[in-house]
Chains A and B, each alone.
Chain A
Amino acid sequence: MSTETIDSPPPTTAGVTRRNVIKGLGATLGLAAYAKAIAPLTEWKESTTVDEFLQQHYKELSAVDLQIVLSRLEREAKKEYGVDVHITDIKAQPGVKFGYALNLSVCNGCRKCAEACHIENNHDRGSNNSYIRVFEMSRGSMDMEKGNANYEHPVKQPDKFYLPVQCQQCEHPPCVDVCPVEATWKEPDGIVVVDYNWCIGCRYCEAACPYHARRFNWEKPQIAAHEINPEQSYLSNRIRPQGVMEKCTFCLHRTRAGRLPACLEACPTGARVFGNLLDPKSEIRWVLENKRIFILKEDLGLKPQFFYFFDV
């Protein structure tokens, strides 16, 4: 610390004093140490490009710009994962509002839906990541504190029922409200989507979601080339970069083309029902009108588009 008092003269700063030489040496050493310390950043720079850095938000991209972005993403996927992918962008169709229902009397907890999601959405293999989490619950209680998602015994167990939870595509999504950069929003057909090239990774949406629906890419996803699903879409199942959020998109690359989501097709017991809520003749509408429906955490008032029902 300086021993400066009222009476000391100002330190001299002129000339090549011993003090100045030592200071210069120290400064050089310090700068060298700093450069060494942040050297990993130069390695990281390899994994991103100027075009990616400057890319605008999805909603601001013109059709031409979007095509350029899609080709760039296909090239990057080829470079990083060694596989030819086809990334599309399908817009929401008018007159469609997706809804999903799940029959809790029938679900047997096999987690084939979670596995189908894992494969369809090109999730990181090491972490068994999936948007769906299946809970083994005690009969007679909806208390999720007694639920267990880590069971590995044969299912169904006689005194249990099984509750798969995924993104509920709320009408009033708190994740959309809290995102500081509008990287996530609710599309007109009801799906809450994320622009993976706009997300800054602050994880506020993950803190806000009451359904544990959001997943963060804590690392770069690791998938073998032969396991990658090449039919991808910009807003849904393309392989996400490191450091961004992702979530269930009701397989919009399939459902906006009229097909059923992967989890529904994989379910061996037929517990899942999917369709257009605006079509009065759809299966989902029939379920909503004829079955006893309940909504998870309904008291939060977020109006999910995911409904649970029992047969009896």
Chain B
Amino acid sequence: MELRVLPARITSTTVTFPSRHLLPFAALVLVLTSVGILLAQAPGTKIPAAIEAAAVPTDLPTKYRPGPPTPRVRTNEKDVQGNGVTASCVTCHSTAKPNPQTRSAADLQQFHQGLKIQHGRLSCLSCHNDRDYNTLRLADGAPVAFPDVMTLCAQCHGQKWRDYTHGAHGGMNGFWDQTRGERLRNNCVNCHDAHVPAQPQVLPVLPPRDRISVMPKSSPEH
């Protein structure tokens, strides 16, 4: 490549580009780029078509564990075959006057023995449907069947629901790769008791048993 520095005026005629000296380099660059592109096709870097085209649902399904069945109350009666007789909630609640102010389990111990409630400042009828005690209700009064309880939880716990649908909450069993297998998701109530949703304390398992492990158990400093 010729380059002549010209005083004052610069014309382009003295610079010849690309000259024949550059051609080998251009060819080399071309070859290297092609080789690079070919190498980049190495496994592990390309997303297979199956995942990319997942807009078409070819995946195996995600199954959700159902919510609880519509609850029934056990009576002390037995039927002819000796089975226990259960009563529907509606049996009593069709005649009792619903009280939207009831929010404490202490007020209910006559007929709801052993019930504990620790769910924020909700009242019972925030979730239970006073028009049909065999269902639950959303905020606008729409009834929700007990097996579909997740819809009700999601109404208030939007962030957790968002996390849950994206797999970041609630755990799962089965396959991460749903082109190869199903996935089973837990229901909210599998882990959270609807009346006392906070996780209970549990005892941890499998403490490490290291050689000469001298860290004290539950030391106050740590």
B129 to chain A, nearest CB (A): 29
Chain A positions 253-273 with a Cβ under 8 Å from a chain B Cβ: 255, 257-260, 264-265, 267-273
Contact with A291, one of B168, B176, B201, B203 (Cβ below 8 angstroms): B168
A residues less than 8 Å from B171 (CB atoms): 264-265, 267-272
Q: How far is the CA of A136 from the CA of B220 in the complex (A)?
A: 12
User: Given A95-B48, A188-B43, A270-B172: A257 and B206 within 8 A (CB)?
Assistant: no
A residues less than 8 Å from B78 (CB atoms): none
A residues less than 8 Å from B46 (CB atoms): 94-95
Contact with B207, one of A106, A152, A260, A274 (Cβ below 8 angstroms): A152
Chain B interface, DSSP helix/strand/loop, else mixed: loop
A residues less than 8 Å from B206 (CB atoms): 111, 114-115, 118, 128, 130
B175 touches A151 (CB 8 A): no
Closest partner residue, chain A, to B180 (CB atom)? A258
Residue A197, interface by CB 8 Å? no
Q: How far is the CA of A152 from the CA of B201 in the complex (A)?
A: 12
Stretch from B11-19, B68-76, B208-216 at the A interface = B208-216
Contact with B43, one of A92, A111, A267 (Cβ below 8 angstroms): A92
Most buried by B among A97, A149, A150: A150
Q: How far is the CA of A107 from the CA of B175 in the complex (A)?
A: 21
Chain B positions 188 through 222: 1 when the CB is less than 8 Å from some CB of chain A, otherwise 0 = 00010000000101111111111001011111011
Top 5 A-B pairs, shortest CB-CB distance = A283-B167, A270-B171, A258-B177, A258-B180, A94-B43
Chain A positions 271 through 312: 1 when the CB is less than 8 Å from some CB of chain B, otherwise 0 = 111111011011100110011000000000000000000010
A residues less than 8 Å from B54 (CB atoms): 281
B residues less than 8 Å from A291 (CB atoms): 168
Interface size class of A (residues with CB under 8 A): 35 or more
Residue A156, interface by CB 8 Å? yes
Chain B residues packing against A (C-beta within 8 Å) = 43-48, 51, 54, 159, 163, 166-177, 179-181, 186, 191, 199, 201-210, 213, 215-219, 221-222
Q: How far is the CA of A80 from the CA of B179 in the complex (A)?
A: 38
Most buried by A among B47, B169, B204, B217: B204
B199 touches A259 (CB 8 A): no
Q: A130-B208, A260-B175, A283-B166 are in contact. List 14 more A-B contacts (CB 8 A).
A: A106-B169, A115-B205, A128-B209, A152-B218, A154-B201, A258-B180, A259-B176, A270-B172, A276-B176, A276-B177, A281-B54, A283-B167, A286-B166, A311-B163
Closest partner residue, chain B, to A138 (CB atom)? B222
A99 to chain B, nearest CB (A): 10
Contact with A270, one of B170, B175, B180, B203 (Cβ below 8 angstroms): B170
Chain A positions 152 through 165: 1 when the CB is less than 8 Å from some CB of chain B, otherwise 0 = 11111000000000
Closest partner residue, chain B, to A189 (CB atom)? B44
B176 touches A260 (CB 8 A): yes
B residues less than 8 Å from A108 (CB atoms): 199, 202
Residue A242, interface by CB 8 Å? no
Chain A positions 134 through 149: 1 when the CB is less than 8 Å from some CB of chain B, otherwise 0 = 1010000000001111
Q: How far is the CA of A149 from the CA of B217 in the complex (A)?
A: 9
Most buried by A among B201, B210, B222: B222
A residues less than 8 Å from B215 (CB atoms): 148-150
B217 touches A265 (CB 8 A): no
B residues less than 8 Å from A101 (CB atoms): 168
A260 touches B173 (CB 8 A): yes
Contact with A259, one of B168, B175, B210 (Cβ below 8 angstroms): B175
